[in-house]
């Protein structure tokens, strides 16, 4: 080594490497000035450096081809995760629509007009908008509101995160999205320049994304309530009219309490049942729909004509417009197709919807309309709902299946709420919360205790407070349509800035779909006093918390930047920093990506001793969904070599799992060891503006390969620590096949020994 101390690491049990193969370690380094990425492969025996283009070795996830068997399997699995909420909408759409505003007459103009609206709404919004257009706007395979916002941030160089670096733009997934970075048109270039210059527009863009996020959280409160309550309401046809009101609410509350109470166990044990339940439900409602069409009104298909929408609005006028708030519930859950894109693939979601979900829903709604067209006196006894169209002998089995499907749909939206809150927290827009990973094998299955109990309390409150589907539908409808409007606005910007299409395509998109959604939004907003105030109130509370936290995060970072310690002051202290240096590694957590934090001067002033190896550790998020393991650690040196101070920046995407375990600590130590070992050999480095040279370093766990012992000693000799070694117990895992032991060899100089003995004696005297 080219310095006065050795950093040696020994890794045993690399079963992935054959005995005849040469153990190699990979170091990724980026050259900011030339905008090129290279990979360096070091062979420990001869230290040969091999250069190659990194993009020749790795391709974006979106370019991977999947077999048809895999696609069909994913399409089947998506039924239980993506389409649970959308599939249960027939339970309450007609009931919410005919609650008060319009009435079912013998002319059937109302029922056929509602069916026509339902058919064209499902066809235009979920099918055309989401399946054929929005799903293409993925962020390296990820979807959702934050995916669109992340795409815009990268293409317009807008970032709400304060600790952004130029090095982050060299990440493979930063420019590896579905949209290539090509030359922009004149309008796109002007729009990009405007967004970059005006901070107000950047804040508006962030607030718009947060509004959509808050409405998703509000939907996480309302969807379980309306789904479970509507499923349980089937008992009204089997019990006395004066008794069923005392059964529905308690039964729904018991199911909801059980649903939220079991969240901490995770869904990995029963998740395999979700897809069969939804598949059985879709087959059930489609079969009942076909039966009702054939038995009651085979000519109901004529109502699919847009002419019946015109007749409906002409006859009902303002009352028909107000009833649109109930009709829009037929597309609740459509946003899940885009939000859950990261768990499946674009093709699998498209196949599942077009081949099964879409035709099943259309048949179900047509069957209900066919039955209602021949039964005009139902409204005098029962509210128009799903169960009246179910044959009497099948009502109890269908009731059980409906409750199971409602629970599955509710579980999906609850899990999605946990996921989006985690993303908000990762991007500095939500307070830090405890995140529990309920499965060690399935990525994305998380549980947030505080949020879970808040959702349960709010869900029970709206269920007990409203006690009917109409007001629950008004509240849920406003939340759903607001999220869709936000998606439409962000998509119009993506079309111009990311897809580089003509401005007229963006205008056509926002005018066509924006007009449809604005019509439904106005119909929902008019029901403000009848339940629609709930999602607005919830969103305002969450939005205030998010904006306040984000503002505080920015101010705290600005304070750290303004008060960071001068490098000249650090150099004036000398290599001992004016205090005793003892064996070991000291980790100093900071949010700064350059410079020395102000708290370090407090440590130097008030602590009697400090570790010989100091690491300024910064864990930050970047505006990409995932950061590859080989690009996660950005390592550099702070000050001269003899100071033995390093900076390690750990980068995570907004969907990544933040690790704080033995594996993470082992990777951290390995990355620093790799940097030290390769520093003298690696010519391509970068600086962060403070004179610190930074390199992207691959870790031992990334490749199941590690550093060989630099002094050639056998691995078995490392079982016992020597006089100048520190074995890290955090790298030992009882059930792991790969055992890592890291030691930091301190130079045996009389000065250090004297200082060490002095500190040990002082501690012993204490």
Q: In the Cβ-directed half-sphere of 386, how many Cα atoms lie within 13 Å?
A: 30
158 or 241, which is more confident?
158
Instruction: In whole angstroms, give the CA distance from residue 729 to residue 741.
Output: 8
Q: Give percent of the chain above pLDDT 90.
A: 35
In a domain, 562, yes or no: no
Could you tell me the pLDDT band of residue 760, with boundaries at 50, 70 and 90?
very low
In total, how many domains does the chain have?
Answer: 2
In a domain, 428, yes or no: yes
Residue 382, number of CB atoms within 10 A of its CB: 15
Report the SS3 class of residue 103.
coil
pLDDT digits (tens, 9 = 90+) for 262-294: 888 877 666 788 999 999 999 999 999 999 999
Whether the CB-CB separation of 677 and 44 falls below 8 Å is answered with no
pLDDT digits (tens, 9 = 90+) for 307-327: 999 999 999 888 889 999 999
pTM flag (> 0.85):
no
Q: Which of 462, 317, 337, 364 is nearest to 119 (CA)?
A: 364
Residue 161 tokens, joined: 């995160």
In a domain, 33, yes or no: no
Could you tell me the pLDDT band of residue 719, with boundaries at 50, 70 and 90?
very low
In degrees and rounded to multiples of 5, residue 688 shows phi and psi of -100, 15
Answer yes or no: do 438 and 532 share one domain.
yes
Estimate to the nearest angstrom the gap between the alpha carbon of 104 and the chain centroid: 43
Whether the CB-CB separation of 86 and 121 falls below 8 Å is answered with no
Whether the CB-CB separation of 452 and 436 falls below 8 Å is answered with no
In a domain, 561, yes or no: no
428 or 703, which is more confident?
428
Contacts of 568 (CB under 8 A, 6+ apart): none
**Cα-only R_g, the chain:** 30
In a domain, 49, yes or no: no
Q: Is the per-residue pLDDT at 37 higher than 70?
A: no
For residue 734, the model assigns a pLDDT of: 40
Q: Is the per-residue pLDDT at 9 higher than 60?
A: no
Answer yes or no: do 746 and 699 share one domain.
yes
412 or 329, which is more confident?
329
In a domain, 318, yes or no: yes
Q: Is the per-residue pLDDT at 732 higher than 80?
A: no
Q: Is the per-residue pLDDT at 721 higher than 50?
A: no
Angle, helices 469-497 vs 533-562, to 10°: value is: 40
Among positive and negative, which fits the CA dihedral 594, 598, 602, 604? Answer: positive
Angle, helices 395-426 vs 274-296, to 10°: value is: 130
Q: What is the mean pLDDT of residues 93-100?
A: 85
Q: Is the per-residue pLDDT at 414 higher than 60?
A: yes
pLDDT digits (tens, 9 = 90+) for 497-541: 889 888 999 999 999 999 999 999 999 999 998 889 999 999 999
In a domain, 557, yes or no: no
pLDDT digits (tens, 9 = 90+) for 44-71: 333 333 223 333 333 333 444 568 888 9
For residue 717, the model assigns a pLDDT of: 35
In a domain, 15, yes or no: yes
Answer yes or no: do 470 and 366 share one domain.
yes
Whether the CB-CB separation of 171 and 627 falls below 8 Å is answered with yes
Instruction: In whole angstroms, give the CA distance from residue 52 to residue 29.
Output: 11
Instruction: In whole angstroms, give the CA distance from residue 491 to residue 274.
Output: 31
Answer yes or no: do 541 and 586 share one domain.
no
For residue 444, the model assigns a pLDDT of: 64
Q: Give percent of the chain above pLDDT 70.
A: 74
Instruction: Domain of residue 621: give its range.
Output: 6-19+580-765
Residue 739 DSSP symbol: -
Residue 721, number of CB atoms within 10 A of its CB: 11
For residue 303, the model assigns a pLDDT of: 92
Question: What does pLDDT average to over the chain?
Answer: 77
Whether the CB-CB separation of 710 and 6 falls below 8 Å is answered with yes
Q: Which of 614, 634, 586, 583 is nearest to 743 (CA)?
A: 583
Q: In the Cβ-directed half-sphere of 592, how many Cα atoms lie within 13 Å?
A: 25
For residue 436, the model assigns a pLDDT of: 84
């Amino acid at each position: 080594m080219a310095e006065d101390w050795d950093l040696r690491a020994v890794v045993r049990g690399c079963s992935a490497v054959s005995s005849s193969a040469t153990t190699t370690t990979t170091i990724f380094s980026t050259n900011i000035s030339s905008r090129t990425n290279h990979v360096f492969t070091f062979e420990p025996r001869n230290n040969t450096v091999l250069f190659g283009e990194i993009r020749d070795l790795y391709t974006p996830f979106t370019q991977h081809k999947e077999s048809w068997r895999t696609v069909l399997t994913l399409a089947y699995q998506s039924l239980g995760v993506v389409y649970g909420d959308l599939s249960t909408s027939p339970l309450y759409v007609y009931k919410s629509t005919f609650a008060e505003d319009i009435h079912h007459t013998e002319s059937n103009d109302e029922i056929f007009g509602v069916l026509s609206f339902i058919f064209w709404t499902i066809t235009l919004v979920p099918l055309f908008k989401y399946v054929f257009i929005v799903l293409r706007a993925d962020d390296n395979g990820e979807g959702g509101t934050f995916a669109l916002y992340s795409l815009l941030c990268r293409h317009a160089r807008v970032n709400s995160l304060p600790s952004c670096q130029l090095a982050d733009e060299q990440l493979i997934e930063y420019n590896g999205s579905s949209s290539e970075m090509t030359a922009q048109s004149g309008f796109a270039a002007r729009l990009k320049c405007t967004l970059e210059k005006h901070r107000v527009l950047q804040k508006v863009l962030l607030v718009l994304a947060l509004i959509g996020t808050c409405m998703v959280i509000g939907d996480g409160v309302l969807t379980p309530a309306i789904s479970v309550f509507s499923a349980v309401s089937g008992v009204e046809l089997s019990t006395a009219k004066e008794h069923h009101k005392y059964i529905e609410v308690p039964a729904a509350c018991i199911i909801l309490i059980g649903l939220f109470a079991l969240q901490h166990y995770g869904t990995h044990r029963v998740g395999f049942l979700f897809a069969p339940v939804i598949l059985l439900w879709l087959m059930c409602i489609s079969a009942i729909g076909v039966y009702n069409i054939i038995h009651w009104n085979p000519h109901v298909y004529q109502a699919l004509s847009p002419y019946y929408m015109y007749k409906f609005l002409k006859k009902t006028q303002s009352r028909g417009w107000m009833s649109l708030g109930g009709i829009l519930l037929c597309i609740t859950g459509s946003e899940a197709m885009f939000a859950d894109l990261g768990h499946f693939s674009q093709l699998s979601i498209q196949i599942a919807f077009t081949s099964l979900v879409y035709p099943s829903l259309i048949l179900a709604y047509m069957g209900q309309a066919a039955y209602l067209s021949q039964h005009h006196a139902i409204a005098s006894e029962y509210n128009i709902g799903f169960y009246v169209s179910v044959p009497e002998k099948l009502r109890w089995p269908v009731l059980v299946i409906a409750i199971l499907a409602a629970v599955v749909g509710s579980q999906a939206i609850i899990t999605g709420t946990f996921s989006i809150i985690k993303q908000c927290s990762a991007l500095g827009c939500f307070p830090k919360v405890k995140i529990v990973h309920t499965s060690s094998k399935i990525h994305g299955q998380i549980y947030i205790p505080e949020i879970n109990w808040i959702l349960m309390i709010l869900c029970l409150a709206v269920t007990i407070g409203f006690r009917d589907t109409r007001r629950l539908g008004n509240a849920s409808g406003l939340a759903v349509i607001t999220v869709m409007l936000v998606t439409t606005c962000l998509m119009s910007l993506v079309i111009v800035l990311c897809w580089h299409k003509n401005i007229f395509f963006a205008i056509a998109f926002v005018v066509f779909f924006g007009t449809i959604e604005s019509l439904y939004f106005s119909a929902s907003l008019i029901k403000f006093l009848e339940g629609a105030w709930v999602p607005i109130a919830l969103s305002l509370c969450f939005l205030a918390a998010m904006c306040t936290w984000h503002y505080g995060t920015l101010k705290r970072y600005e304070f750290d930047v303004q008060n960071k310690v001068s490098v000249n002051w650090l150099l004036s202290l000398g290599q001992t920093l004016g205090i005793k240096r003892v064996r070991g590694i000291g980790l100093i957590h900071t949010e700064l990506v350059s410079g020395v934090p102000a708290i370090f001067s407090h440590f130097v002033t008030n602590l009697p001793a400090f570790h010989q190896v100091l690491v300024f550790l910064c864990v930050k998020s970047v505006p990409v969904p995932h950061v590859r393991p080989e690009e996660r650690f950005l390592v550099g040196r702070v000050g001269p070599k003899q100071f033995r101070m390093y900076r390690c920046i750990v980068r995570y995407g907004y969907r990544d799992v933040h690790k704080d375990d033995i594996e993470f600590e082992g990777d951290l130590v390995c990355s620093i060891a790799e940097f030290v070992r390769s520093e003298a050999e690696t010519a391509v480095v970068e600086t962060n503006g403070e004179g610190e040279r930074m390199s992207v370093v691959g870790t031992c766990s990334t490749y199941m390969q590690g550093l060989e012992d630099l002094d050639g000693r056998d691995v078995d000799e490392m079982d016992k620590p020597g006089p100048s070694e520190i074995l890290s117990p955090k790298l030992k895992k009882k059930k792991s096949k790969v055992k890592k032991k890291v030691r930091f060899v301190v130079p045996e100089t009389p000065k250090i020994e004297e200082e060490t003995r002095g500190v040990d004696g002082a501690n012993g005297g204490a």
